[in-house]
Amino acid sequence: MRKWTRRAFIGTGALAGGGLLLGVTGATLAPARHSLRSDDPVSIGELTTWIMVTPDNLVTVLVPHCEMGQGAQTALAMMAAEEMDADWNLVRVKEAPALDAYANAYIVRAFINDVAAPIERGFDFGAYRVARWFALQVTGGSLSVRGTGHHGMRVAGGAARQMLVEAAAAQFGVRASECTVASSRVNHSGSGRSASFGELASAAAAQSVPARPVLKDPRSYTLRRTPQRRLDMRSKVDGSAVYGIDFTMPGLLHAAVEIAPVFGGKLVSVDTAAAEAMPGVKRIVRLEEAVAVVADTYWRARVALATLKPQFDDAGQGGVSTATIFDAFDKALGAFPDMPADAATVIKADYKIPFLPHGTMEPMACTAQVIDDRAEVWAGTQDPLNARKTAADALGFSPEQVQYTNLALGGGFGRKLPGYLDFVGMSARIAKEMSPTPVKMIWSRETDMQHGYYRPAGMARFAGALDAAGTPLAARSFYAGGGDGESVFMPYAIADKKFSARDAKHPIRTGPWRSVLNSQHGFFKESFIDEMAHAAKKDPFQFRRDLMTDLRFKTALERVAAMADWDSPLPEREGRGIAIAESFGSIVAQVAHVSVSPEGVLKVKQVCAAVDCGDVVNTDTAAAQVEGGIIFGLSAALLGAITIANGTVVESNFHDFKTITLVDAPAIEVDFIISGAHPGGLGEPAVPPIAAAVANAIFAATRIRVRELPIKNSNLAVPS
Amino acid sequence: MSRMPITLTVNGQVRSLDVDPDTPLLWAIRETLGLTGTKFGCGIGACGACTVHVNGKPERSCSMPVSSADGSSVTTIEGLAQGGALNAVQQAWLDQQVPQCGYCQSGMIMAVSALLAEKPHATDAEIDATITNICRCGTFARVRTAIHGLAIDRGGA
């Protein structure tokens, strides 16, 4: 098995020297994070941790984030290229390898934007050490642009530009300050001399990396804030993109698995004799919680697996059902929150939301090969370093004994985040049994659907009070099923606001699902404020607006109302609903326009979204993320639910876990507000408002208030 | 189980496959032929990620035994481009930047290619009835825009 060094990955050709250790330029305790380079950066044109310039005049940006359709790799390359004044046509992207040097500490900075300058370097290097320790090379939390991009790539690009200019100035015998840069060339107008980045690459890489390069004034951006094609796009229209499930190699065997249906259940017994005799079957592997059939083709593995009758225990959870879980929520919530005695009107409402699967189009898949004390693993995950560690832990290895290659992801949505890579560990354990033969494990859709880490089901009990003029006095809730400070934040000036958790435990596996807990609290909060508006006999847009003190929220709300022509009349049984939520540093306001037939058939006709994410890098992929977030959230709001019976997941495939398709997809309009606020994320923030926007629109159309998702379970017909 | 060689014309090339006859066409394409652009999504013909053309018609290859395609002409996503030039649907997908994760898009492109080959001026009702592929990233608005562009182009409008 080849030894995988950083140079082997980023090196451009035949290079002298043996194993390469990561060096740090400058003998300081806290070097600039972007100056972590190999010990011989010159030979490979490595200008900073993430930027290489090669003699062919190409700039290669090594992005420590995966690509799962969110466009982060292209956006981060744009951020580096903008600061470098590189010719965008000469920029390439590579996903950074699963090596410690690429642990992405900058995501920490997305949460702590204001670090005092004197400690900035120490802070970032400390965060890097922590990220490395925890094997964090994560893509999630809508963090790539606002974390790694804003605090890392931008600075690395500025540093690279400065190094190229210094190299050119030395070569031209002029002052660096007299040089200009455009389209991957450094020019000196006085002498008429000019050199391409490629020509300067080696000399530039010999420069020390400036810790605090001068960055561009955003008003001078020429690449950022424009629509650019994603660099991975061609491979996704011609079938050539290689996803985790597509990996292959000589001698590969294939595994199909069946996992204990009840969470925490263990394999008790399985009669393997008949299956072992089936064509192509190599071995039946018993795992603690599952049984795997390894065969020469995946289909033969599946056919043999279907003949097995494995017995699993139920971990004592066989009595758990959706009903028992919601009964426990209901008990935990208790009485409605107290309201002021002098209230003219008191509004009370319970809301319920179900478990949801990620349902990535690519089911969990992973290939592993174990040879003696080393392993190699291939999959598409949201955290290569954590995948490496997960495989190592499963094998009893140290991470250094495992080489991990990240491939394209067929969807992530949180399912493939660190801590949720059970399938990588399982694949490694199967491969260990089959050592030294490589094995690709693919979960069936049924296994994928029934062994997820689900968006937590939840329930909220709200009470609100209005005075005689319809002004809110109080809004309080108890909620069960999860929540945090961010997700329960309400941007309304209501004197008495209080939201508190009262949890009730259950054994169903839960995890982060696109927008995490904001997905449930967006529905709760924005449905309830709408109920308060109607109780106050006020327009839901005006009611919200009058309670907003923050200019960013108010601007987003007003913008979306204008986009949707909020005040224009609609036909009978059509309505508009408005909702707004802040998550991951971005504010998203949405208006949904629906029609409901007398028979109760709902059609979401249009959704408008006004988005303040501070600034926008690639306007086209940014809009795509908002469009996608709306559809993902809308599909869940209308149709999505995982139900539990006898401790197991009832839904098993896309026939009973329904999603929306083209026919149901509304027209979507997206508008960005460039507020100049600290950059916010975009992968997730469009999800939280949509369920409430639709439920509020249904109320406007029908006077029926939907308080439980999915909406398909509500009867919206005219009462007969 | 007896294995009779199965003959398919795949992307214009005659291929003889030594596989179990009940193997779904999908797995014969992916594993036996090594054409991984065709995706596995559900295994029950619900999501459309595995859509290929069999004798020009869109088929969900996960639910079609390879034996029933014996002697047929099969086109996969890899067979759409001619001499490195994308076909019109692929080009429209690139121009509209339709894919996000891209996993479902091979099937989506195959389904749309088949629809427009049969109905170059497909109406929205025909599009809605035919393109039932699941996309979890939520690319539908762009899918529709791209189809509209193609349907108009083909009408010479």
A91-131 pLDDT per residue, tens? 999 888 777 777 766 655 555 555 666 566 666 666 665 56
Mean pLDDT of A548-567: 98
Chain A with chain B: Cβ pairs closer than 8 A: 187
Query: Considering chain A, what is the average pLDDT of its residues?
Result: 91
Whether residues B144 and B125 share a domain: the answer is: yes
What residues of chain B lie within 8 A of the CB of A654, using their CB? Answer: 41-42, 44, 46-47, 134
User: Domain for residue B124, yes or no?
Assistant: yes
User: Domain for residue B38, yes or no?
Assistant: yes
- pLDDT-derived band at A4 (thresholds 50, 70, 90) equals very low
Whether residues B14 and B70 share a domain: the answer is: yes
Whether residues B19 and B62 share a domain: the answer is: yes
Query: What would you report as the CA-atom Rg of chain A, rounded to the nearest whole angstrom?
Result: 27
Q: Which helix (H) or strand (E) holds A167?
A: helix A154-172
Contact A378, A261 (CB under 8 A): no
Q: Please give the residue of chain A at the shortest CA–CA distance from B143.
A: A662
The pLDDT of residue A9 is: 43
Peptide bond into A436 cis (omega under 30): yes
A-facing residues of B in 93-132 (CB < 8 A) are 93-94, 97-106, 109, 127-129, 131-132
Kindly tell me if the per-residue pLDDT of A597 is higher than 50: yes
The pLDDT of residue A16 is: 25
Between vectors from CA B127 to CA B126 and to CA B129, what angle results, nearest 5°? Answer: 65
Best residue in A238, A356, A439 for a mutation probing chain B (most B CBs within 10 Å) = A238
Mean pLDDT of A627-644: 98
Please state the ipTM of this predicted complex.
0.96
The mean-pLDDT minimum among A41-50, A393-402, A636-645 falls in: A41-50
Is B76 touching A (CB cutoff 8 A)?
yes
A147, burial (CB in 10 Å: exposed 0-12, middle 13-18, buried 19+): buried
Closest chain B C-alpha to A455 CA, distance in angstroms: 15
Q: Which residues contact A445 (CB under 8 A, 6 or more apart)?
A: A363, A652, A653, A654, B41, B42, B43, B44
Best residue in A229, A242, A299, A659 for a mutation probing chain B (most B CBs within 10 Å) = A299
Q: Of B55, B79, B103, which residue constitutes the final position of a domain?
A: B79
Q: Of B79, B100, B129, which residue constitutes the final position of a domain?
A: B79
B-facing residues of A in 72-111 (CB < 8 A) are none
CATH number of the structural domain spanning residue B149: 1.10.150.120
The pLDDT of residue B56 is: 96
Domain holding B98, by residue range, is 88-155
* Spatial CA neighbour of A667 closest among B145, B108, B133, B111: B145
Closest chain A C-alpha to B89 CA, distance in angstroms: 9
- pLDDT-derived band at A66 (thresholds 50, 70, 90) equals confident
Is B23 touching A (CB cutoff 8 A)?
yes
- Spell out the domains of chain A, with CATH numbers in brackets: 6-236 (3.30.365.10), 244-315+364-442 (3.30.365.10), 458-713 (3.30.365.10)
The mean-pLDDT minimum among A51-55, A58-62, A148-152 falls in: A148-152
User: Domain for residue B1, yes or no?
Assistant: no
Is A59 touching B (CB cutoff 8 A)?
no
Mean pLDDT of A415-420: 93
d(CA A696, CA A716): 13
Give backbone dihedrals phi and psi of A718, rounded to 5 degrees, phi first.
Answer: -65, 130
Kindly tell me if the per-residue pLDDT of A490 is higher than 80: yes
Whole-structure pTM value: 0.93
The pLDDT of residue B11 is: 98
User: Domain for residue B39, yes or no?
Assistant: yes
Among B46, B129, B139, the residue with its CB nearest the CB of A655 is B46
How many other C-beta atoms are found inside a 10 Å radius of the C-beta of residue A116? 7
The pLDDT of residue A32 is: 62
Query: What would you report as the CA-atom Rg of chain B, rounded to the nearest whole angstrom?
Result: 16
Contact A320, A506 (CB under 8 A): yes
Mean pLDDT of A286-304: 98
pLDDT tens, position by position, A678-699: 889 999 999 999 999 999 999 9
Percentages of chain B per state (helix, strand, coil), in multiples of 5 = 40, 15, 45
Closest chain B C-alpha to A451 CA, distance in angstroms: 15
A-facing residues of B in 35-54 (CB < 8 A) are 35-44, 46-47, 49
CATH number of the structural domain spanning residue B46: 3.10.20.30
The pLDDT of residue A121 is: 60
Alpha helices by DSSP H, A409-482: 422-433, 445-450
Whether residues B54 and B99 share a domain: the answer is: no
Question: Residues of chain A with pLDDT > 90: what percent?
Answer: 80
B36, burial (CB in 10 Å: exposed 0-12, middle 13-18, buried 19+): buried
Whether residues B70 and B114 share a domain: the answer is: no
Whether residues B61 and B118 share a domain: the answer is: no
What residues of chain B lie within 8 A of the CB of A652, using their CB? Answer: none
Mean pLDDT of B86-106: 97
Whether residues B50 and B96 share a domain: the answer is: no
DSSP string, A434-448: TTTS-EEEE--HHHH
Mean pLDDT of A25-34: 46
d(CA A511, CA A218): 37
Contact A100, A168 (CB under 8 A): no
The pLDDT of residue A17 is: 25
Q: Please give the residue of chain A at the shortest CA–CA distance from B87.
A: A238
What residues of chain B lie within 8 A of the CB of A296, using their CB? Answer: none
Kindly tell me if the per-residue pLDDT of A590 is higher than 60: yes
What residues of chain B lie within 8 A of the CB of A299, using their CB? Answer: 20, 23-24, 27, 31
Among B1, B77, B133, the residue with its CB nearest the CB of A279 is B1
Mean pLDDT of A576-604: 97
The pLDDT of residue A266 is: 98
The pLDDT of residue A120 is: 63
pLDDT tens, position by position, B4-44: 789 999 999 999 999 999 999 999 999 999 999 999 999 99
Mean pLDDT of A290-318: 97
d(CA A677, CA A626): 18
Question: What distance lies between CA B26 and its chain's CA centroid?
Answer: 11
Whether residues B11 and B70 share a domain: the answer is: yes
Q: How many domains does chain B have?
A: 2
Q: Of B35, B56, B79, which residue constitutes the final position of a domain?
A: B79
Mean pLDDT of A6-19: 33
- pLDDT-derived band at A160 (thresholds 50, 70, 90) equals very high
Mean pLDDT of A391-399: 97
Whether residues B74 and B94 share a domain: the answer is: no
What residues of chain A lie within 8 A of the CB of B142, using their CB? Answer: 624, 627
Q: Which helix (H) or strand (E) holds B53?
A: strand B51-54
Whether residues B40 and B67 share a domain: the answer is: yes
Whether residues B75 and B98 share a domain: the answer is: no
Q: Which residues contact A116 (CB under 8 A, 6 or more apart)?
A: none
Whether residues B72 and B99 share a domain: the answer is: no
